[in-house]
Amino acid sequence: MKAAPFEYTRAGGVGDALDALRLGAVVLAGGQSLVPLLNARVRRPALVVDVSRLPLTTVERDGPALVLGALTRLRTAETSPVVARALPLLAEALTHVGHVSVRNRGTVGGSAAHADPAAEVPAVLLALDAVFTARSHRGTREVEARDFFRGPHRTALEPDELLTAVRVPLPAPTARHGMAELSRRPNDLAVTAVFTSVVLTDGVVTDARIAVAGAAPTPIRARAAEEVLTGRAPTPGVLAEAAEAAASATDPVDDLHAPAAYRRDMTAVLTRRALRRATTG
């Protein structure tokens, strides 16, 4: 099937993109999710604005945060020594997103804006308390990750807003990460995946972040599980307790890929594995 006819314009600058968005255009970044939706005629925009050549591609330290331009390619972030040092959880998670050819074109902002509940990047950004910068002709605003993901493929972005950057606070230097993902084939979208970042001080957890993908209409933070861990030594019993709390926070549905109960059970299994990776070795 071919896409329904649409007008195409390539933005030469952010202003052009915002002009087109004001006219009702849909943003095309790397096209790795949008183009299949156009071809299946799930989306039939009258106007598409290609932003892929805008220079929103810098990855730089800004005080206690790393700022990634929304058009940073997934592969660029994955292979960036700066990202590897500052946000190793993101760097590892990116290796699970599709294949290299997908990551060569797909963008960090595109993955966030597409907001697939099973996607890796949105869940990691939620775990790390990222802040999204959105621009429109009405101005610039920032949206915290916990308010950004609103439902399957729904975000807080208004139709006339362009996501321009993602600001990720740097985890403590002593933070260690662990992730665990179940997918049907390597590099498929996750059935369920868990992303954790943990700080241990004198053998006791002093900070814990746990985000789950593929187990609710949006990526979720397992806050009750984080509380179970905080102030305690990460013994197998405590990890098991946290894993059960994470599973209880899920709200999965039955679908083609897995029944809801399986996703809930896998959340517990994957949480335990991810936490073990973050707290041992």
Ligand X SMILES: Cc1cc2nc3c(=O)[nH]c(=O)nc-3n(C[C@H](O)[C@H](O)[C@H](O)COP(=O)(O)OP(=O)(O)OC[C@H]3O[C@@H](n4cnc5c(N)ncnc54)[C@H](O)[C@@H]3O)c2cc1C
Q: Which residues bind ligand X (CB under 6 A)?
A: 26-34, 70, 74, 97-98, 102, 105-107, 109-111, 113-114, 116, 119-121, 157, 162-163, 187-189
Give the C-alpha distances (Å, rounded to integers) separating 258 from 191, 247, 251: 7, 15, 13
Minimum Å gap between C-beta 125 and ligand X is 11
Nearer to ligand X, 117 or 252 (CB): 117
The structure tokens listed for 163 are 């996501």
Write the burial class of residue 241 (CB in 10 Å: 0-12 exposed, 13-18 middle, 19+ buried). middle
Nearer to ligand X, 18 or 199 (CB): 18
Nearer to ligand X, 92 or 226 (CB): 92
Minimum Å gap between C-beta 182 and ligand X is 12
Minimum Å gap between C-beta 188 and ligand X is 6
- Residues 6+ away with beta carbon under 8 Å from 261: 252
Q: How many CB atoms lie within 10 A of CB 32?
A: 20
**Distance between CA atoms of 150 and 230, rounded to whole angstroms?**
28
Give the C-alpha distances (Å, rounded to integers) separating 238 from 119, 155, 196, 227, 234: 28, 34, 15, 11, 6
Give the C-alpha distances (Å, rounded to integers) separating 216 from 4, 116, 213: 31, 10, 7
Minimum Å gap between C-beta 167 and ligand X is 14
Nearer to ligand X, 162 or 194 (CB): 162
Minimum Å gap between C-beta 103 and ligand X is 7
| Helix, strand, coil tally for the chain in percent (to 5) | 35, 25, 40
Nearer to ligand X, 11 or 225 (CB): 11
Minimum Å gap between C-beta 97 and ligand X is 4
Nearer to ligand X, 99 or 146 (CB): 99
